[in-house]
Structure 1
Amino acid sequence: MSVKNAFYAQSGGVTAVINASACGVIETARKHPDKIGKIFAGNNGILGALREELIDTSLETAEDIAALKHTPSGAFGSCRYKLASPLQDIAPYRRLIDVFRAHDIGYFFYNGGGDSQDTAHKVSLLSKEMGYPITCIGIPKTVDNDLPVTDNCPGFGSVAKYVAVSIREASFDVASMCENSTKVFLLEVMGRNAGWVAAAGGLASQNHGEAPHIILFPEVPFDQQRFLEKVQKSVQDHGYCSIVVSEGVRTDSGELLTHSTSFDAFGHIQLGGIVPTIARMIKHELGYKYHWAVADYLQRSARHIASATDVEQAYAVGKAAVEFAMQGKNAVMPAIVRESNHPYKWSIGEAALADVANIEQKIPRDFITEDGFGITESCREYLLPLIQGEDYPPFRDGMPYYVVLQNNLVEKKIHDPSAAW
């Protein structure tokens, strides 16, 4: 049996450590040329396969591949492209198999969230039916930390660290100016349906009364009166109020508190911009001067303050994905298993893609305080290990050094119907 090549792709919103997973995949595969041939990467995720735009990673030096471990964002480009159900449209799946067959690709490593794991699962099933079986291994990634089975998701620990540090530092600023200036500061963070990122802001508070004083979760319906009363009491007690707001906050009827009228490529409503709405509410009802900030891309690209635990785990799941493939496993995903909290110990387990695809893991209610505005000690115990350690990138001339790969494409072998994608 000939040695098959591999295809690796990054999907969805990138993170500070997704390239560490890519590094784990490529370095591990390079150590086993007798089992895996070339490693191709998709130029802009799964679109790279559909358009037959395959990056030949064998042309990258070992030093540059190693530098991926400390480089944020997606080195090969990502995309938000959701394949429809094969019952609705089989054409993209046929195209994928045609491209994989043309380039002798027998392994598919898909680095992404729930939608990506769903795609990998479907390809593993359909490839058999189409007469060209593909070994499909998912690699977990999402700052939202909402994949099931795995204890946590690579990318989340670094976002959690960034948010906790940012709200703590900003709150020091507000506290120093609250005598006759700003009374309220709001930080908007990511989290469509699960408030894990917002919860991480609670780590900034280590003693009673410290910021943030309020956290707004998607899991807790927004009650305007209770919220405003909490803001007012915080200002009265502490001189100011510091708030972390998840972008997915909803009313008691389940409607998003604020959103745009546009949708992303996965069919999700485009979120963002909730804090101006809440800030104006506070000004109108309470009269307090406010400032707000939106963490947006800053939170997921902050490699300079990445969690060392997160970097290590991101590399480990990439490495394990290749090892799973070489062991003959299929339609599975490496999962992080928490073995203990004190001391924190973890290992790599295994999850079936069918148990991961399109399933969201929200915050357990006992991780949120009874009043709905903070995190409990159980939540703190879960979160703290994930932000431990610093893994600074190398610096040059005062700036972090990040690698930019050549990303040379291989020659196309079949007709290019790129207009379809």
Structure 2
Amino acid sequence: MAQGTLLYAQSGGVTAVINATASAVIQTARARRVKVLAARNGILGALAEDLIDTSKESIAAIRALAHTPGGAFGSCRVKLKSLEADRARYERLLEVLRAHQVRYFLYNGGNDSADTALKVSRLAAAFDYPLACIGVPKTVDNDLAVTDCCPGFGSAAKYTAVSVREAALDVAAMAETSTKVFVYEAMGRHAGWLAAAAGLAGDGRDQAPHLILFPERPYDEADFLARVKATVDRVGYCVVVASEGIQTADGRFVADAGGGKDSFGHTQLGGVASFLAGRVKDALGLKVHWTLPDYLQRSARHLASATDLEQAQAVGRKAVEYALAGMNAVMPVIVRGSDAPYRWKIEPAPLERVANHEKKMPAGFIRRDGYGIRAAARRYLEPLVRGEAPPPYGRDGLPKYVSLKNVAVKRKLPRWTG
């Protein structure tokens, strides 16, 4: 039996398969007879000593996490600053780890979470505390460096491509006497991976989506409106997919919601589809419909990609194996072997190469005119959305998801008020 406790936490926006990673982590650790605690609401739970004893959950419940969306233990958007600037929090975190004999810390999240895991590993080293810190990849934005793709992205990409294809059929049916333009807003602050995934919905100049707006390319309103009109004149209607993070040439977010910044330092975005719809209506006089799928993109477990599910579980298993092997400050990343047939494996990568680095769409993936994807993007994306992994359904016709008991362990320290 390994010595010490494993602490697992979820961070940032959740995905359709983040709980599948949690399920793999807990099952792998149980097989090694390692106690697993989960921090309630990410790093906040660790700081508040609000820890969940996963041993109180049945194996059936833990297995059911694999087909349950959301974040089973709660998540948060909190980024720790440097050790010097946030010393009180770091010292409190170390107290909690010591109190519960935590020797393995797995932080399941995106870029900022990789940065936090790296900082915690450095904290432990500075205080000579034996701790293995493993960052576990997760994000629908697919913007983590080093890894070929991010668990969570494949399912969101599948949802996006399917939704755009289905909506396009609806628009085509109504275009003669009704809707001429449909605008779909995809997640993606700085990287247009999800918007690109919509390109899988069609193949050819006249197949939807007709126009994709990427954050990697500046938004030119006059050019955009001209292309919308030209598409409607040629095809009879126009389906537009816009990343929420598109910016004008001067770097201003088109969808800046004016809500300030979150704790990660991110500008609050929202409403690019409604904005574009309004401009098309006012400038071209066309009837427009728009949609903002928002959380639906990342919670649609009923439409998960089988590839994505398999990869989410694989990184969870490897994260535990790496920790128990004594590895530290690494992340299990996905390495692609080939496109056809699609082959991949998991390898460790130093967190220093992941944290604070952002992977955007390669220029060679974006069509020369800036409004669609190239064959290279299609070769990259198609394997990630393949395969179906539906959840079990009940007699009521709805998916059978699990809710954990999430029994808290007894606190050993004074209540934290930081």
- If the TM-score is normalised by the length of the shorter chain, which range does it land in? over 0.9
Alignment pair present for 1:295 and 2:289: no
CA distance in 1, matches of 2:311, 2:348: 14
Q: Deviations over 1:306-362 (max 9, x none)?
A: 000000000000000001111111100000000011100100011100110011100
Cα drift, residue 261 of structure 1: 2.1
Alignment TM-score, normalising by the size of structure 1: 0.98
Q: Is residue 5–residue 104 contact of structure 1 (8 Å, CA) maintained in 2? A: yes
CA distance in 1, matches of 2:212, 2:258: 26
| Corresponding position of 2:5 | 5
Secondary structure of the residue that 1:399 maps to in structure 2?
Answer: coil
Secondary structure of the residue that 2:327 maps to in structure 1?
Answer: coil
Aligned partner of 1:237 among 234, 237, 240? 234
Structure 1 unaligned segments of length 5 or more: list them.
none
Q: Deviations over 1:126-164 (max 9, x none)?
A: 112113121100100000000010000000000000000
| Corresponding position of 2:378 | 380
Alignment TM-score, normalising by the size of structure 2: 0.98
Cα drift, residue 277 of structure 1: 1.1
Alignment pair present for 1:66 and 2:38: no
CA distance in 1, matches of 2:187, 2:205: 26
2:338 maps to a residue whose letter is S
| Corresponding position of 1:390 | 388
Q: Is residue 47–residue 92 contact of structure 2 (8 Å, CA) maintained in 1? A: yes
Q: How many pairs were matched up?
A: 416
2:114 maps to a residue whose letter is Q
CA distance in 2, matches of 1:72, 1:342: 30
Alignment pair present for 1:189 and 2:186: yes
Aligned partner of 1:216 among 213, 225, 238? 213
Structure 2 counterparts to residues 349-364 of structure 1, below 5 A: 349-364=347-362
CA distance in 1, matches of 2:41, 2:131: 21
Q: Which moved more, 1:292-301 or 1:87-96?
A: 87-96
CA distance in 2, matches of 1:330, 1:86: 18
CA distance in 1, matches of 2:255, 2:156: 23
Structure 2 unaligned segments of length 5 or more: list them.
none
Alignment pair present for 1:27 and 2:24: no
Q: Is residue 2–residue 324 contact of structure 2 (8 Å, CA) maintained in 1? A: no
Q: Is residue 151–residue 335 contact of structure 1 (8 Å, CA) maintained in 2? A: yes
Alignment pair present for 1:52 and 2:49: yes
Structure 2 counterparts to residues 202-351 of structure 1, below 5 A: 202-262=199-259, 263-351=261-349
| Corresponding position of 1:416 | 415
| Corresponding position of 2:14 | 14
| Corresponding position of 1:109 | 106
1:342 maps to a residue whose letter is A
Q: Structure 1's 2 and 256: CA in aligned 2 closer, same or farther, altered over 3 A?
A: closer
Secondary structure of the residue that 1:110 maps to in structure 2?
Answer: strand
CA distance in 2, matches of 1:2, 1:113: 28
| Corresponding position of 1:164 | 161
Q: Is residue 124–residue 133 contact of structure 1 (8 Å, CA) maintained in 2? A: no
CA distance in 1, matches of 2:23, 2:169: 38
Cα drift, residue 2 of structure 1: 7.3
CA distance in 1, matches of 2:273, 2:130: 48
Cα drift, residue 253 of structure 1: 1.1
Give aligned-pair identity as a percent.
57
Structure 2 counterparts to residues 75-90 of structure 1, below 5 A: 75-90=72-87
2:168 maps to a residue whose letter is S
| Corresponding position of 2:140 | 143
Q: Which moved more, 1:96-105 or 1:203-212?
A: 203-212
1:218 maps to a residue whose letter is P
CA distance in 2, matches of 1:90, 1:142: 28
Moved beyond 2 Å, runs of 4+: none
Secondary structure of the residue that 1:260 maps to in structure 2?
Answer: strand
CA distance in 1, matches of 2:53, 2:277: 49
CA distance in 2, matches of 1:6, 1:50: 16
Cα drift, residue 225 of structure 1: 1.3
CA RMSD for the aligned pairs?
Answer: 1.0
